[in-house]
Structure 1
Amino acid sequence: MSTNGYNPMMFISSILSLNGSNYNVWREKLEIALALSDNDLALISLCPTKLVDLVREANKTDATFATRQRDHAKVRIKYDLDRAKWDSSNRKCLMVIKGFIEDPIQGSILECTTATEYLKKVESQFTSSSKAFASTLIKKLVNEKYSDGGIRDHILMMSNTASKLKPMDLGLKDEFLIHLVFASLPKEYETFVINYILQPDKWDNEKLIAMCVQEEERLKSSHGDSINHVKENKKKNFNNKNAKPQGKP
């Protein structure tokens, strides 16, 4: 059966197998695949509440009770349909989740009746590793320094690193990321950074990249690509020091 012209298995097969070191990517791929294959109902909604059996009150007439019975029957039909859909989704979610967890990890997780409960137990096993991963990413962002290679790629790399914090509820605001990027730039960009701080406007990531690339081109034009120039001078000086004087062995 296809969903919106696509084969659901196409999405399911894209899920990575959980191996202990890729929890965040695995969880993201899992949720995307289940959503695109229209099987995530049990993950995004609670199980329908079971209906209480209808009881006839002593002071109600036959006509009144008959009306309540008809209304209750309609609600029962809707509940049965909703519960059947939810149960089907829950069963499929559990099958998919377990099917993409390596055996040693799956064997350590207790059985659950719902997919959400099972995912919580999986998550609990990787909380500490997630914290360690988050700490590593934050340290990388704080200590990152730009030297060369293109400032566009540098900013995209930092943005990509920051995006990995979002699944752990540690996503950074754009303004904070911009200041981290500025902190990573060399002294040549000092005036450029100060000008940004003094102006009232705030940039998004696209504006940041555009303005930094523009500033990089300006610096290259005004200083003759100073970074490369310094490297070339160092290389020449090194070669000159090691060069043998003419006429000497």
Structure 2
Amino acid sequence: MDLDYALREPAPTKPNVTSSKEHMALYEKWERSNRLSLMIMKGSITLAIQGAIPVSESAVSYMKSIEEQFIGTSKSLASTLMIKMMTMKYDGLSGVREHILKMNDMASQLKGMDMEISEGFLSHKQTLTASSTMEAEFIACYEATCHAVWLKNFISGLQLVDSISKPLQIYCDNDAAVRFSNNNKTSGGSKHIHIKYLVVKERVLNQTVFISHIGTTLMLVDLLTKGLTPKLFQEHVARMGLVESLSCLDLK
């Protein structure tokens, strides 16, 4: 018996009194396959999920409805995982390793939905040696801009919102780098900067991102790159949302 015959072949026209025996036999074969396919699919799906799938007399149509249902579910799950990853806080009770494993598990689930997490969520060293502090900070702005554009496109791709009209805010604690990013002029001290990094100016000009100055004591990323005093370390950890409150930390 060709159990999947109704899934492979289109439905033949319904026979009538003038139909040939071959046509009637073909229709009966297709109808039996269609009925059994529907029975098997419905028997393999829980009642809770069946209620969300439109009723159909065709196995092919029913399977398409299931596919559409799971596409919507995947988008909803991806949105939930992204929000959870961005708001998840270390409670100070379980181990840090367990917290990291939970984050890694969510990233793996997103990867399985073809939504791989960008390296923008990682902290790493620059791949070149800068000749000045301004150049180093400007290159960091370039990396942050690339990740901001990826995040903007990713959120738009989830189709949860039509578009993101406001520029994404990027903070930098170097005045010279902020001024250089926010104007379209060049100076003798910046002529050696590779042309690819100047895309930052274009992104600012077309209002994709906006780079603002922030005081060094408020730069949260210093927690990942510098040695800080215990007091400032505690404040940065709390502001990053890694703990519910400073009471979770007990640094001496």
Structure with higher Rg: it is 1
More helix by share: 1
Q: Same fold (TM over 0.5)?
A: no
